[in-house]
């Protein structure tokens, strides 16, 4: 009877853990997709900057520094997504929550 109960417990434990880890990986993949839109926006910004340099080559230095600051600020959203996915993969809070709150057998 005791072995049966512990077997059942181990199976349920592994099922719950793999459930949490698998869904976390899917969530991390979706979170990293936030990098799409900043890349798109940076492409637009750089294209406009190239147009501006072509129109006014003497202002190239100022345009370049302004474009770089804009690009780096626009990148923040993508970096937030990357941070969320890294937390979900490397420092998953739900796994430790699951392990800490196991019911006593």
Partner 1 sequence: MDNNLDFNIQTYHRIYLTDELWISINDTLISTWIIGGILIIFAIIARIKIKNFKPVPETRFQNIIEAMVEGFDNFVAGVMTRKYAFLGNWFFGVFMFLVFANISGIFGLRPPTADFATTYPIALTTVILMQYMGIRYNMKKGEYVREFFRPVFLFAPLNVISEFSRSISLSLRLFGNMAGGLIVMGLIYGLFPWFLSIGIPGGLSIYFDIIVGALHAFMFVVLSMYFIMMKVPQED
Tokens of 65: 């520094």
Q: Which is nearer to partner 1, 3 or 76 (CB)?
A: 76
CA pair distance 49, 44, nearest whole angstrom: 9
Q: Is 86 in the site for partner 1 (CB under 8 A)?
A: yes
Tokens of 66: 């302004």
Q: Is 33 in the site for partner 1 (CB under 8 A)?
A: no
Segment near partner 1 (CB under 8 A); pick from 12-20, 23-31, 44-52, 78-86: 78-86
Angle at CA of residue 88, ends 97 and 35, nearest 5°: 155
* Interface mask toward partner 1 for 57-76; x: CB under 8 A: -----------xx--xx-xx
Residue from 20, 34, 45, 82 touching partner 1 (CB under 8 A): that is: 82
Task: Give contact residues for partner 1 (rule: CB under 8 A).
Answer: 68-69, 72-73, 75-76, 79-80, 82-83, 86, 90
């Amino acid at each position: 009877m005791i072995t049966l109960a512990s077997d059942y417990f181990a199976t349920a434990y592994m099922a719950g853990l793999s459930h949490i880890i698998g869904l976390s990986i899917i969530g991390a993949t979706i979170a990293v997709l936030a990098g799409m839109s900043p890349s798109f926006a940076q492409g637009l910004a750089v294209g406009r900057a190239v147009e501006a340099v072509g129109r006014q080559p003497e202002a190239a230095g100022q345009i370049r520094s302004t474009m770089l600051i804009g690009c780096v600020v626009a990148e923040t959203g993508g970096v937030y997504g990357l941070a969320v996915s890294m937390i979900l993969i490397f420092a998953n809070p739900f796994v430790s929550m699951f392990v800490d709150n196991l019911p006593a057998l």
